[in-house]
Amino acid sequence: MLGGEKMTKNSKPERAKREIDLDLVAKIVMVLSIIGIVVTTIMIFTPPISSEDYAELALLTYDPATEEYRADNYPTSVDYNQTAGLSEGISLSFMLSNYYNIAKFYEVRLKIGLYNVVISEDTPGSNTSTYFYQEHWKQKVLAYEQIWGPSQQTNVTFNFNSDIITKLGLESNGYKLIFELWEWNSNLDDFDYTGIFVYLTSFKLNLV
């Protein structure tokens, strides 16, 4: 399942949280417009509400047969070798758009959590509730109306390893694969959570 949230600059309206069935996601058609990505069947990424300043984060898969990135065919499980303490590779890609009227320094963070971990516009994955996959965190400065990806630069291939299992445990109901958007805050001299996120949920490990 895939879910996510996109926030505007000036407000944080209440939004219905989405848990999308992958069988339905497979039927999604992406339509590009001036406001970003709109899905004809299901809204994956909420459009901005009464604001010209916003950012968008999309989660995609790559189809080598057509050499296209698509909003479907999301992975639902992976084989995990208990002896080696390592799974097969999981490949996803993201696309990030900056529609703020200034350049922004962004960081996209990959985190792993249990299927029921709460991620919201106000609550990113914490170091206690999620595994920080820091080697796959990606940074880039984006100018106004600049779009980053999908491309080799925004492709992410990662594994479940023994460190993740030690931290989170084995969960029969699955895990959340979370991508969060952070931006540089000069006042904090650090990155700050934007409230924008996408994730796959109920991702299963097949123990072998």
**What letters, b where the CB count within 10 A reaches 16 and e where it falls short, cover 134-164?**
eeebbebebeeeebbbbeeebbbebebbeeb
Give the total residue count for the chain.
208
Q: What is the pLDDT of residue 52?
A: 73
Domain count, the chain: 1
| E strands, 64-172, in order | 68-70, 77-81, 86-87, 90-98, 104-114, 130-132, 138-142, 147-148, 155-158
Q: What is the pLDDT of residue 151?
A: 93
Q: What is the pLDDT of residue 138?
A: 97
End-to-end CA distance of the chain: 23
Q: What is the pLDDT of residue 21?
A: 40
> What is the percent of the chain where pLDDT is above 90?
74
The amino acid at residue 16 is A
> What is the percent of the chain where pLDDT is above 70?
75
> Which range of residues forms the domain containing residue 181?
2-207
Low-confidence ranges of the chain (pLDDT < 70): 1-51
| CATH value at residue 95 | 2.60.40.10
pTM: 0.78
